[in-house]
Amino acid sequence: MAVFRIIVERRFCMAIHTAPMQVISSSPGYLRAKRLLDIVFTLMILLPLLVIIAIVAILIRLDSEGPIFFRQKRMGLNGEEFTLFKFRSMYVNNDDSIHRRAVERYMNGGKLNDRKGDGLPFKLRDDPRVTRVGRFIRKTSIDELPQFFNVLLGEMSLVGPRPPLPYEVACYSSHDWLRLSGKPGLTGTWQVYGRSTVGFQEMIEMDIKYLQQQSIWQDLKLVALTPSIMFSGRGGA
């Protein structure tokens, strides 16, 4: 695995981390089958996906000024940077310091929500940057649908760890880096079983365990469980 060095200056983190020598490897046969599943499944749903994209695009355009799609740098396999596509769910020219502070608290084990009985301690509530349409598409994860194009490009997979931000990875320990041993996914163990209910270290362990035990049957199971999570909005951001 190529050594990847990332230098990011942050108020809460100024660090240089080198990708760890420890790796999680997958069999070539599994990786070929996984890539075939990615392509076949995406092409099968492409037509209804384009219809949904068109409808959501109109709603976003009517709701607030700005582009329909949001592009953001994320870290993929072995720490390789790529451009992730999402529907825009926030007002343009917003201050991302709110999110950066939330990431800091989350990675340090702090809660993002202190509401009693909420059940979602790691969900950032009442974010003023989010639009009306944005609240709905984020809750149902519809804002993630453009990432199917990242899947077709080979930058993501249907199933895998959540793709982290560069300033998040800048604070990773060598153990945390293990979650970058596989391609990031549209869905995965954390996305199905965790989301806003688990803390940072638990998310890391869920992703590492998935990568150590991954199989096509496990991938198919997680893909099958994802629609019910989307429709229920359980733990949505």
Instruction: Determine the pLDDT at residue 123.
Output: 61
Closest of 178, 205, 186, 166 to residue 74, by C-alpha:
166
Highest mean pLDDT among 93-97, 134-138, 147-151: 147-151
Place of tokens 């974010």: 127
Q: Specify the higher pLDDT residue, 113 or 53.
A: 53
Q: How far apart are CA 205 and CA 200, in angstroms?
A: 9
Query: Does the model's pTM come out above 0.75?
Result: yes
pLDDT of residue 97 exceeding 90, the answer is no
Instruction: Determine the pLDDT at residue 26.
Output: 86
Q: How large is the average pLDDT for residues 94-102?
A: 76
Banded pLDDT at 23 (limits 50, 70, 90) = confident
pLDDT, one tens digit per residue, over 140-177 is 889 999 999 999 999 999 999 999 999 899 889 999 99
Closest of 138, 152, 149, 169 to residue 74, by C-alpha:
169
Instruction: Determine the pLDDT at residue 169.
Output: 92
Burial of 101 (0-12, 13-18, 19+ CB in 10 A): middle
Banded pLDDT at 230 (limits 50, 70, 90) = confident
